[in-house]
Amino acid sequence: MKPFPALLDEFLSTLTVERGVADNTLSAYSRDLRRYFDFLKENGLSSPEDVSLPDLQSFLVRLRGSGLTPRSVARAISALRTFHRFLAGQGYVQRDPTSLLRAPRPPRSLPSVLSGDEVERLLGTPDVSHPRGLRDRAMLELLYATGLRVSELLSLPLTALDPVVGFVRCLGKGGKERVVPVGSSALRWFTEYLSRGRPALAATRDTPFLFVGRGGGRLTRQGFWKSIRTYAGKAGIHRRITPHTVRHSFATHLLEHGADLRSLQLMLGHADISTTQIYTHVSQTRLREIHEEAVMSCPVHPLERPLGQCEICNQEVCTLCLRHVPTPLDFECYSCGNMGTIVLYEALRHRPPH
């Protein structure tokens, strides 16, 4: 049988050619499997044929003890399963030990999002009097207007965005192309960047990429992450912010303003709509917080507040407070969890103020 490095190269090539796996996934799988090969060698296992279920379980115990997050461990398990299935499919081994491997799913945490005010402060932070600041403003605007992944944003060719029609064409995971509409604010800053920013940055180099660094070179993800953290600090946002935070904010804010889940799935490039559904939980959690804040700060005495009533549980709510709460179509009653509050909210919109 081929040595481990040769098997890994063949495996990664197959993922690239036949499945169109993204570069980031390939890099992650490569790291996970090299760590796995080192573990096998340390334990005297020179061939994948010799690997048993207890060996796999021991490897997972080591991963968990090394301080990896549950999500990283889950990704490593996915790499192991895919690799061993590949070996069995190619006839290198007779059995797949990962077929009996059971691992708990990592807890699914709600993504962190920015408020509307935080987004406005973040977008307004770059110094647009300089080419680099103009580029960063255009990138942030486009990131929030489209919800692109950072790898998709940095890979955009010069011809990707059509300012006349108002859409951007990008390649997502697995090489799948999608078209996403772009708002007027992002289009304005994109035009400013093309006319005043990019010519100065790419003056000495011919590059096909839309967003370029100093000297016309391609920007890196790490460099853009650092820029966003710097801008977040200047904007008074004192928590961990990444480009994906802006993507999460784009999706959550769209849902809060009435976008449907299917359209959001297409814009985000999710293969499965269940991935998109996580944003419905973020939206509803935030609405509960807004409602509680509105109730606590309501200037009217509790006994004098105009009340409405949920048609399901008859819970009374202050209509004065509710007038400040946005209303998605799938939001439920704070008290009983049923969907009947939609009728109440729609009625309140037309009720004259007291």
Q: Where are the domains of the chain?
A: 4-100, 116-278, 299-354
Q: Is the distance from CB of 162 to CB of 210 less than 8 angstroms?
A: no
What local confidence, expressed as pLDDT, does residue 344 receive?
35
Tell me how far CA of residue 278 lies from CA of 30, 90, 115, 312, 354, in angstroms: 29, 37, 17, 25, 37
Q: Is the distance from CB of 191 to CB of 198 less than 8 angstroms?
A: no
CA distance 331 to 70: 31
Q: Is the distance from CB of 307 to CB of 318 less than 8 angstroms?
A: yes
CA distance 313 to 40: 59
> Could you tell me whether strands 161-162 and 167-171 are parallel, antiparallel, or unpaired per DSSP bridges?
antiparallel
Both structure tokens of 69: 């997050």
Both structure tokens of 91: 């006839």
Q: Which residues contact 323 (CB under 8 A, 6 or more apart)?
A: 348, 353
173 is annotated as an active-site residue: yes
Q: Is the distance from CB of 210 to CB of 143 less than 8 angstroms?
A: no
132 is annotated as an active-site residue: no
248 is annotated as an active-site residue: no
**Catalytic residue among 144, 279, 291, 345, which?**
279
**Catalytic residue among 75, 135, 137, 149, which?**
149
Residue 307 has pLDDT above 90, yes or no: no
For the ranges 67-71, 221-225, 346-350, the lowest mean pLDDT is seen at 346-350
**Catalytic residue among 173, 221, 234, 305, which?**
173
The mean pLDDT value for 107-113 works out to 70
What local confidence, expressed as pLDDT, does residue 221 receive?
85
Does domain 116-278 bear CATH number 1.20.140.10? no
144 is annotated as an active-site residue: no
Tell me how far CA of residue 22 lies from CA of 12, 69, 212, 274, in angstroms: 11, 22, 22, 21
Angle, CA of 146, 151 and 154, to the nearest 5°: 80
| Mean pLDDT computed over every residue of the chain | 79
Residue 179 has pLDDT above 50, yes or no: yes
What local confidence, expressed as pLDDT, does residue 74 receive?
84
**Catalytic residue among 135, 137, 247, 253, which?**
247
Both structure tokens of 188: 């304005």
For the ranges 18-32, 179-193, 291-305, the lowest mean pLDDT is seen at 291-305
Residue 330 has pLDDT above 70, yes or no: no
**Catalytic residue among 81, 132, 244, 305, which?**
244
71 is annotated as an active-site residue: no
**Confidence class for position 351, pLDDT limits 50, 70, 90:** very low
Exposed, middle or buried, 148 (CB in 10 Å: 0-12/13-18/19+)? Answer: buried
**Catalytic residue among 75, 135, 270, 286, which?**
270
Could you say which DSSP state residue 105 is in? Answer: P
For the ranges 43-52, 107-116, 169-178, 329-338, the lowest mean pLDDT is seen at 329-338
**Confidence class for position 293, pLDDT limits 50, 70, 90:** low
What local confidence, expressed as pLDDT, does residue 322 receive?
47
Fold of domain 4-100: DNA polymerase; domain 1 (1.10.150)
> Could you tell me whether strands 307-309 and 316-318 are parallel, antiparallel, or unpaired per DSSP bridges?
antiparallel
244 is annotated as an active-site residue: yes
